[in-house]
Amino acid sequence: MTDDFSEGPVSLAHGSDSKGTDTLAEPSKGKLFLFGATTTILFFAVLEGFSRLVGTIQFPPAPLVSELFARWSHNHEYDPLLFWRLRPGSTIQRDMINSLGLRGPEVTDKTADEFRVLSLGESTTFGWKVPYELCYSAQLETRLRAHGNARIINAGLPGYSVFQGRVFLEHRGLALSPDAVLLYFGVNDFLNVAFRQERDSRAGTTSRGLTDRQLFVSRQRWAVKTADWLYARSNAVRWIGWLAHQAADPAASSPNEVQAHPTLPRVPEEDRWASLSDILDICRENDIELIIIVPWYRDFEGHALLLRRFADESGVPMVDLQASLQHLSSRKSEFFIDGSHPSAEGHHVIADEIWKVIGAPWSTALTH
């Protein structure tokens, strides 16, 4: 006897295929994507929150590592374009670094009658171990202001090369609307890559054996730029980067090991010339006057020949400190605190020589 169910074949709520085999209804691809995206966002939100509970971290670490790390980590920070910069709001030599990462007062909007000068350079321009008001840029500003509304922005950064000055001008300096640029670069261009490597937080990976230009180009790759973007915004990513950095093979990341071209200068001669040419092109395209200064050092003179040749061939006004202060050669120790950095008296002498070139035309421009 066969049971006869009047209800007929049972229809399962979750469906069946054409052959009568039971199947579960598959979720749509949209729902799967939404679930995955939500789960991923939630995971990273929890990871980010946990990392902040553990503690905020700055990574890549300050660029002056080796024996100077502890001393400099509070006022230097990584910069994806310029390699490093001064940390806004920090203090150095008792002066607060402004919001642009520069020494000196905040830079306000330029007024219609203001004559504005951007003073680009290295630690001499910055005024290493000299009060801000005694730096040559500040002294020149005081003299100019006696003739009208003038401002000289001190954009000197310790350790910077002329290549970094060129990058700063294009990516940061033009936004400040300068009418003129003073350019003071020299000895840092000649420091070899090993010197910079010892001061670069990523010496074991991105800066080994690379010139400044090569290092800049390498950091424009999409993977590095993406990492920089994440480092700037995520504390969790900075922790992951720091842990990976600590877990790396010490022999592979030693800041004292250079595998390629250990004597290669940071800015080889062809790169120095190209940087100067780029700076001149940028200035001319934006109706900015360029003044090249041949720096004055106590123990170094190798930078002068190329600067003189460039100024001569391009017709750019030049202040040749090395030549005009030659009469002080026997007394250099009176004007320097070490082999490279002028004392307050040295800055006064430098300001005097620059004023001899720019004082009359700029003062006239201010009074008309």
Q: What tens digit of pLDDT does each residue of 310-335 get? A: 999 999 999 999 999 999 999 999 99
pLDDT digits (tens, 9 = 90+) for 329-364: 999 999 999 999 999 999 999 999 999 999 999 999
Give the C-alpha separation, 144 to 360, whole Å.
10
Mean pLDDT, to the nearest integer, of 25-34?
75
Give CA torsion, residues 100, 106, 107, 108, to 10 deg: 130
In this predicted structure, what is the pLDDT of residue 110? 96
In this predicted structure, what is the pLDDT of residue 245? 64
In this predicted structure, what is the pLDDT of residue 210? 79
Which residues make beta-bridge pairs with 97?
A: 103
More confident residue, 367 or 119: 119
Give the C-alpha separation, 191 to 213, whole Å.
14
Six-digit token string for 367: 């009074």
More confident residue, 44 or 187: 187
Backbone angles phi, psi at 144, to 5 degrees: -70, -40
Q: Nearest Cα to 255, choosing from 189, 200, 212, 211?
A: 200
Give the C-alpha separation, 181 to 117, whole Å.
6
pLDDT-derived band at 307, boundaries 50, 70, 90: very high
Place of tokens 């503690």: 55
Which residues make beta-bridge pairs with 290?
A: 181
Task: Give helix 136-145 / helix 344-367 axis angle, nearest 10°.
Answer: 30
High-pLDDT (> 90) share of the chain, %: 53
Give yes or no for a contact between 61 and 193, defined as CB atoms under 8 angstroms apart: no
Mean pLDDT, to the nearest integer, of 114-118?
97
In this predicted structure, what is the pLDDT of residue 40? 84
For the chain, the average pLDDT equals 83
Q: Where are the domains of the chain?
A: 51-80+192-261, 114-191+265-367
**pLDDT exceeds cutoff 60 at 140:** yes
Whole-model pTM?
A: 0.79
Backbone angles phi, psi at 159, to 5 degrees: 85, -5
Give the C-alpha separation, 116 to 274, whole Å.
26
Q: Taking phi first (over 0 means left), then psi (-120 to 50 degrees means alpha), and beta for anything else, what does residue 220 get?
A: alpha
pLDDT digits (tens, 9 = 90+) for 244-275: 766 654 443 333 333 344 568 889 999 999 99
**pLDDT exceeds cutoff 60 at 17:** no
**How is residue 68 annotated by DSSP?**
G
pLDDT digits (tens, 9 = 90+) for 47-64: 888 888 888 876 665 443
Give the C-alpha separation, 257 to 203, whole Å.
9
Could you tell me which CATH number the domain at 114-191+265-367 has? 3.40.50.1110
Six-digit token string for 263: 């004597």
Six-digit token string for 164: 């970094």
pLDDT digits (tens, 9 = 90+) for 150-197: 999 999 999 899 999 999 999 999 999 999 999 999 999 998 775 555
High-pLDDT (> 70) share of the chain, %: 79
Please, where are the H alpha helices in the chain?
Answer: 29-54, 69-72, 123-126, 136-145, 162-168, 187-190, 193-199, 212-218, 222-233, 235-247, 250-253, 269-285, 304-314, 321-324, 344-367
More confident residue, 84 or 177: 177
More confident residue, 190 or 28: 190
Strand, helix or coil for residue 152: strand
